[in-house]
Structure 1
């Protein structure tokens, strides 16, 4: 006998009553099929030429940067610039005590004068021995005189080089900016002893206008873009259009020019560096600053699917709800090739005139009868009904 057959009749009746009550409660509290059509906003999709953009992150880098180091040794006697001001190439920045180098130059010039004074006598000896050769002057005397002349001429050239070296050292006692830019804070003070070619820079001069922004693009995405161009899903533009946003989320007024694309992929990040040049007249972008960019890669003949009407799946596809001719909800999986203005770009999988549901989709089920309401979505993402 089974358990119910062995139970007393009264206990069996109580158990059946409790079971029926539980089923009735579950039917009242559980999810129920909608009673009639579900009201939902819809937009009608039309294919068109859509810009394909991708978001990238990057960091600003100086267009030029020169670390200023002394090329001669001595005491710093003057700091000739104001930190944070713009300087031109050739403007003086520091002065090193020049007295030693003045003396070296004077000594070199004296040696040059001495060498030049010896030259006429050596030349006259050669001329005289040439005339007297064979008449009391031997050939050995002539050869010796010519050697002496050559040595005198070499002494002049050596002295001239010494003068030039001394003059260069004296000129280097005044340290000049090698580039146009903004001079940084001085890392030395008047009275400090500096040495030629020391490791520590005295200051840095940085060119801020224009400025570079180095963007990081994943190598996988670059391959995807090339595949989409090859398949015809996307048409590449003549040049990349790059819109920049600063760290405070403020848009930057300027269009970048791509100057270089790295030929190597980073082994740590898997990205390729894209160097972009921006005009920076107001110095809003500073080296080292992190920025965000939207890069327009080209255009695609595609549909724009509002992101609020689509669910992003784990495999990277998006799911949307459309209406068939009988106003029945149908779920469709699509593959996007990018986004623009809060919308997914979808080149395939839909037809012109497809009706897309944009609200009441969180609990939507396949086959639900829909009461469609034409709506529009404004730039801020607000849904409003239309007259048609």
Structure 2
């Protein structure tokens, strides 16, 4: 069946029109003549906080092992494990009968010695009045010796009574510090001895708490050189923050307790100690933490992280706008500040860094620029709109 003549003419015309378009599309380079609009921001030099990060470990400010100072059987465990105790609170109570009897005996010996002293004093006074009349010098000297011996006996008896009192008081084993007591290692009915090697329990003070950190001696010297050269300006005081094991930044600020004055002969590091308030017991002894110490400020160029790309070889790159062309540059950096890299090489003050329109942007691409800014949250905003809002 043949087509009508009119239909054949229309099909031929469409073919003749489509063929040149197909040929043009096949031969034209992709993206030729295209100009990409990008958002740029001029780089400036600014004061950047100089922060050093140090690994640390939490250490209790005070921790003491509780041991008995007298022998006896544990009669009562007074405290509750995990519940805070104050200095002087009773933790354990030993059977006191033996020490009560010893105290009573010492008290009686003291009273007897005092009675003997009274008799000896009266005899000496009598012989002293009768010397040369009714008593010889020999009798007086003998009375004097008896009196001195009686006085010595009283002192000895008082010392024995004092020791008996100490032993009696020590049947109540008290906490020497305020803190959190651990689970008792002995139970009621256990026989314990004076100054034994095994502790009854341990009391730990958690608030405040220490964090011990180590710093490389070489890095400390480099920082000192920066201060001396003027590239680093010291702050009025150290700003010390703490990062917990879960990555959360601790709410409280720290203070330096010990700056460290000796270098380890094995590691070449210096030990330092910081103190943090710990009212909620968020920090526990033995935890590994990270301490960030802001020493001062330094002049630097900040490049927003969203403007950069990490290449497969690990290098950090960005695009800068120059004469209507995008140029890829390789950046060197010394750290981060908020959401920006602290760049030491690769860009200069006044360079226009490309923040927006980076999708599929290639080195050498033709561009047209629009001024933009970036806020604290890392969001790019139109510079004109931001300026009008201000």
Q: What TM-score results when the alignment is normalised by the length of structure 1?
A: 0.79
Q: How many residues align?
A: 354
Q: Distance in 1 between matches of 2:36 and 2:194?
A: 83
Separation (CA, whole Å) in 2 of partners of 1:364 and 1:216: 45
| 301 and 131 in structure 1: CA distance in 2 versus 1, 3 angstrom threshold | same
Q: How does 1:1-388 map to 2 (within 5 A)?
A: 42-135=40-133, 137-307=135-305, 309=307, 322-324=320-322, 327=325, 329=327, 331=329, 334=332, 336=334, 338-346=335-343, 351-357=348-354, 372=369, 374-377=371-374, 379=376
Deviations 1:238-293, CA, capped at 9 Å, x for gaps:
22112222222222211111111221223444332221111111111111122223
Alpha-carbon deviation of 1:107?
0.9
Moved more, 147-156 or 321-330: 321-330
Which aligned segments of 4 or more residues in structure 1 are displaced greater than 4 angstroms? 34-41, 307-313, 316-328, 332-335, 346-351, 357-388
Aligned in 2, Cα 1:185/1:96: closer, same or farther, shift over 3 Å?
same
For each residue in 1:23-50, what CA deviation from the matched residue of structure 2 results, as whole angstroms up to 9, or x when unmatched?
A: xxxxxxxxx9x98777765432122222
Q: Using the alignment, how far apart are the partners of 1:318 and 1:70 within structure 2?
A: 64
Q: Which of 76-85 and 254-263 deviates more?
A: 254-263
Calculate the aligned-residue CA RMSD, in Å: 3.3
Q: CA deviation at 1:99?
A: 0.9
Q: Which runs of 5+ in 1 are unaligned?
A: 1-31
More deviation, 152-161/288-297 = 288-297
Deviation of 1:184 after TM superposition, in Å, equals 1.3
Structure 2 residue runs of 5 or longer lacking an equivalent are: 1-29, 386-390
Q: Distance in 1 between matches of 2:243 and 2:317?
A: 30
Please state how far the C-alpha of 1:141 moved relative to its aligned partner. 2.6
Using structure 2 for the length normalisation, give the TM-score.
Answer: 0.79
Paired with 1:232 and 1:361, the residues of 2 have a C-alpha distance of 37
Contact 1:183–1:203 (CA<8 Å) still a contact in 2?
yes
